[in-house]
Structure 1
């Protein structure tokens, strides 16, 4: 499984209309995007992965991320084996521990010892018949402990909501072997006011989650930056402007050591498939 170039991270491909998701996936492949990344906040995840694999011929389909609290390792391994048998080695299982407020909302106190929970889930994948190969999985890893686990037990890391500087530190920490596959949020727009109108509320929701807020504080942002969603923080996390502005941010990640960047496009209607924006960006993102 080759993981390079630029992909698309999309909640619409996961939770939008299924017929349009399949049609969009086929078009994204033709546009040159090399991977499709989808989230997992409930529902039949592997059905969605299968539909996207069936709609494409070459593109990698990746979970960004499979929420380990929602799945049994044996079931995940069986789904991986079935999908790989049907569609070839194109399913990259991105795995993460999610966030305490989200996990505990369903069952208070369940979110404990996330590193141990990840290790136990990976143990289950290794014991399954057949197992999920380490080369077919990556971990959502923001901090150094989870990154070390990823380097030892998977193909690499899939950091979400990070600036290029985080990519640089991650590459320096992991060395040349493990893959570094960051997500980059992008808004095609003309002005800061337009970008802010689309992205501030979206970003504020993520900043309420302690894993993301803590990572940004470790990265040199202040509590005031996080609380106010300062321009400094907004600009570091969201690439906004024209096509070249988005291209430059992706290139910053690549220069910092990323092997692949998946771009998440935000628009004013965040439920709609941003198909025109994907088309506009393809010539500058997929031509290299």
Structure 2
């Protein structure tokens, strides 16, 4: 019997920061892309890069079945009462197909960044106190450490960890308990030339290795400062990414599922900036992971 989480979010989703463009041509391309993701059988589309709720609506309008989630909306950039009002309206209009993903982002991106855990608690309090509150079942939290993971289980549907290996996924499941959603992100480079795949991965990872939230978490997992040099060591890339052919991706997905993930949010990198919406790779993964197409 499928769990509520697997029914609602599906086994596999797509994470992309290219789903909230600023120009009309880009918006049309996104609508076409997310409609195809829906038809291919993906369970959730995660709008990365801190989108606004205004940017969520076109994605929902272009799809019929797939769950749409923010991955994530920064609590520093959006006032809780306004978020609650707009979220409630979107969730009503879509029969709950929208999920509000929230996160504390990073100090380097946010001038007023302070007390991230306490600030998240206060933000959730404000969502609960709004005239049209966002229910815990309608929100997920970006979480890495045990305190935020516990908060994800207590006051949200669950957690959406980003840039994590399979090992802390098992630890996160133990912290969350059996019923909360655990939906980690996993970055994929479909390229059998491993050195070229590593180059693409390092191009993305180098930015994140400048952010203490991620590096501190990786240090807790046993990596060293040496693993962060030059865009990441080979062993760090092997732990954080799925690099190679579709069968490699299947194996890596199984590692996370075996560790306790309900859902994997796959971010596909190609190394080609003109392919922000890598439809060919999304189609390949849908077939390799045996997703069930929708009419």
User: Same fold, TM exceeding 0.5?
Assistant: yes
- Aligned counterparts of 1:165 and 1:4: Cα–Cα separation in 2: 22
Structure 2 counterpart of 1:61: 68
Offset of residue 285 of structure 1: 2.1
**Structure 1 unaligned regions, length at least 5:** 105-109
Structure 2 counterpart of 1:107: none
Structure 1 counterpart of 2:19: 13
What SS does the corresponding residue of 1:226 show, helix, strand or coil?
A: helix
1:38 aligns with 2:44: no
- Aligned counterparts of 1:86 and 1:269: Cα–Cα separation in 2: 36
Structure 2 counterpart of 1:266: 269
User: Larger deviation: 14-23 or 50-59?
Assistant: 14-23
What SS does the corresponding residue of 1:69 show, helix, strand or coil?
A: coil
Structure 1 counterpart of 2:105: 98
Normalised TM-score (structure 2) = 0.92
Contact 2:12 2:264 in 1 (8 A): yes
- Aligned counterparts of 1:77 and 1:286: Cα–Cα separation in 2: 36
Structure 2 counterpart of 1:190: 192
Deviation track 1:108-132 (CA, whole Å, cap 9, x = no partner) reads xx11100111011101110112100
Deviation track 1:77-111 (CA, whole Å, cap 9, x = no partner) reads 1111121222221111110000011112xxxxx11
- Aligned counterparts of 2:152 and 2:255: Cα–Cα separation in 1: 23
1:86 aligns with 2:68: no
- Aligned counterparts of 1:269 and 1:48: Cα–Cα separation in 2: 24
Deviation track 1:172-216 (CA, whole Å, cap 9, x = no partner) reads 222202110000000000111111221112101111101000110
1:135 aligns with 2:133: no
RMSD: 1.4
- Aligned counterparts of 2:241 and 2:215: Cα–Cα separation in 1: 15
Pick aligned residue for 2:245 from 224, 242, 246: 242
Contact 1:54 1:87 in 2 (8 A): no
What SS does the corresponding residue of 1:253 show, helix, strand or coil?
A: helix
Q: How does 1:117-128 map to 2 (within 5 A)?
A: 117-128=119-130
Flag the 1:21–1:134 CA change in 2: closer, same or farther, 3 A: same
Flag the 1:246–1:138 CA change in 2: closer, same or farther, 3 A: same
**4+ aligned runs moved over 3 Å, structure 1:** none
What SS does the corresponding residue of 1:252 show, helix, strand or coil?
A: helix
Normalised TM-score (structure 1) = 0.94
**Structure 2 unaligned regions, length at least 5:** 1-6
1:2 aligns with 2:8: yes
- Aligned counterparts of 1:270 and 1:261: Cα–Cα separation in 2: 24
- Aligned counterparts of 1:241 and 1:180: Cα–Cα separation in 2: 25
Q: How does 1:154-165 map to 2 (within 5 A)?
A: 154-165=156-167
1:49 aligns with 2:56: yes
Pick aligned residue for 2:77 from 64, 70, 83: 70
What SS does the corresponding residue of 1:131 show, helix, strand or coil?
A: coil
Offset of residue 158 of structure 1: 0.3
- Aligned counterparts of 2:101 and 2:181: Cα–Cα separation in 1: 12
Deviation track 1:223-265 (CA, whole Å, cap 9, x = no partner) reads 1112341100011111110111111111111111001111000
